[in-house]
Structures are given as C-alpha cells and as structure tokens.
Amino acid sequence: MSILSTLRCITVDVTGTLLAYKGELGDYYCMAAKSVGLPCPDYKRVHEGFKLAYKDVAQKYPCFGYAAKMPNIVWWKTCVRDSFIRAGYDYDEETFEKVFRRIYASFGSSAPYTVFPDSQPFLRWVREQGLQVGLISNAEYRYQDVILPALGLNQGSEWDFGVFSGLEGVEKPNPRIYEIALQRAGNVAPQEVLHIGDSMRKDYVPAKSVGMHALLLDRFKTKDAEEWRKSGATVLPDFVAAKEWLTSDNSTC
C-alpha cells in the first residue's frame, strides 16, 4: 500500500522547497541605490550586514514583530537600515527612505523569486488526488497576499490553507506551527499528514515530533543531505521524485 492512500493532507515549506531567491541580495540593494543616484554598495559587505541585522531584529521582534504589533514595513525598515549601517553605509533619512521604499517594493513582488518548474504541477496533482495542500512558512503576510499569487501559486488552485509565521506569531522549528496546520486542515490526525521541506531542523524534526510523516527535498545538493539520510530521513531531489515515492507500494517515512 502506498503512503498516498493513507493521507488526507500534504503540507509544504515555501522558500527552498517551492521557490528560490533569484540573483543576489546585493543586486536589489544596488538597484535601489542607483535609482536615487548613489553608487552600488559592496555586495559582500551588504550580504554580511544583512545576515547580522536580520538575526538581530528577528531575535528582538520574532515573527516579523507579531507580539510587538510592529507594522511589517517598520520591521523591514529597521532590518534594512541596520544592514546598510553594518555594511558601512549610513545614509541620511531622506535618502534612506527612498532606497528602502525601492527595496521593500522589490521584495514584495515576484521579482526576486523563481518557482521551481515542478512545484505547481505537484501541488495541483496532490489536490487532484483529493488531498488538502497546506503551506507552512517562516514568512510575512506578503507571501500569502501578494508574492505567491504573483508567482502563479494561488489559494484555491495550488493550495488550500497557509500558516505563515508573521500572521500566526509562531515560527519554525516550534512544533506549534505544525499543530496549527493540523487544525487548519480540519483537525486531521497527524499520521494522515505528510510535511515536505528542505530543513532537518525546521521541517523534518518538528513535523515528526507532532506525529506527522515528513520528507526532505535536497534541491541544491547540500552537504548535509547524507547526514539527513543517516539519521533516518527520506531525502529526495525534487517533487517529481516525491510523486513517484508517494505512489510506490513501499514508501515509508
């Protein structure tokens, strides 16, 4: 018997699983700076500055400022300003506002993202089998309302419900976000749900901890994949392989 026949719902991670970032962070910061007549910031310094700034702001105001009732745009403005300062670019307020608006608009559109070719067909196939599709992502509201629809991943045709950290106030790897997904699916039993993601820590382990099935996609041939397999995880290259695995008679996870 295939695992597919035992499932009522499949939940899927978004970034790294359904879609990926296109280009480099510096590309978008550079375009924003040039739009107001400034030279292009150093890519490496901006990238390192962003990593530190994002980590710091996320620790102070987790889930994109959910608990603090911080507006999404304020959260990102704090993060982007700190990114530039850490990279050595302390723009005046008027200049920064113009640069930030360009960056915020870019990352609230489909421009920086690319959908893997097998994502939409897989999601539609799952729904055609009579299963629900849920999205679980550490992302803010624009993923649900703007970005995913702009990329052709629409609620009602590719997915049924979403659990986004910026809207729920809880984020992966907290198992609670998976429990919310079970509730959204109609309080289905965890053993009737499969979660597909790309992170052992954020996807596989917490999903399994609440009783769900789980598998990992290794789209970028990460060096950690072999360790994931050794620890007992099912690791597949893409959704094409996942579909074959789901319909095979010996699929286990």
The type of residue at 80 is V
Structure tokens at 196: 């597909």
Do 133 and 210 fall within a single domain? yes
Domain count, the chain: 2
User: How many CB atoms neighbour CB 253 within 10 A?
Assistant: 19
Do 44 and 58 fall within a single domain? yes
pLDDT in tens, 7-54: 999 999 999 999 999 999 999 999 999 999 999 999 999 999 999 999
Contact 250, 231 (CB under 8 A): no
What is the span of the domain harbouring residue 9?
Answer: 3-21+115-247
Q: Please check whether residue 124 lies inside any domain of the structure.
A: yes
Q: Please check whether residue 213 lies inside any domain of the structure.
A: yes
Do 139 and 231 fall within a single domain? yes
Q: Is the pTM of this model over 0.85?
A: yes
Q: Please check whether residue 11 lies inside any domain of the structure.
A: yes
Do 55 and 151 fall within a single domain? no
CATH classification of the domain holding 9: 3.40.50.1000
Question: Nearest to residue 201, comparing CAs of 171, 221, 181, 180?
Answer: 171
Do 123 and 66 fall within a single domain? no
The answer, yes or no, to whether the previous bond of 112 is cis (omega within 30 of 0) is no
Report in angstroms the alpha-carbon separations of 1 from 7, 70, 80, 128, 250: 12, 49, 51, 19, 7
Q: Over pLDDT 90: what percentage of the chain?
A: 98
- 89 CA to centre of own chain: 29
- The whole-number pLDDT of residue 251 equals 58
Do 79 and 158 fall within a single domain? no
Q: Please check whether residue 252 lies inside any domain of the structure.
A: no
Q: Please check whether residue 253 lies inside any domain of the structure.
A: no
Q: Over pLDDT 70: what percentage of the chain?
A: 98
Q: Please check whether residue 142 lies inside any domain of the structure.
A: yes
Do 119 and 73 fall within a single domain? no
Q: Could you tell me what percentage of the chain is helix, strand and coil, using 3-state DSSP and rounding each to the nearest 5?
A: 50, 15, 35
Do 61 and 86 fall within a single domain? yes
Q: Mean pLDDT across the chain, nearest whole number?
A: 96
> For residue 12, what are the β-bridge partners?
135, 196
Confidence of residue 249 (pLDDT cuts 50, 70, 90): confident
Domain boundary among 108, 128, 153: 108
User: How many CB atoms neighbour CB 83 within 10 A?
Assistant: 26
Q: How many CA atoms within 13 Å lie on the side-chain side of 38? A: 19
Do 55 and 149 fall within a single domain? no
The type of residue at 211 is G
Do 32 and 57 fall within a single domain? yes
Do 218 and 134 fall within a single domain? yes
CATH classification of the domain holding 79: 1.10.150.720
Do 64 and 76 fall within a single domain? yes
Question: Residue 174: pLDDT above 80?
Answer: yes
Domain boundary among 108, 135, 153: 108
Domain boundary among 108, 131, 154: 108
Q: Please check whether residue 77 lies inside any domain of the structure.
A: yes
Question: Nearest to residue 15, comparing CAs of 166, 171, 135, 179?
Answer: 135
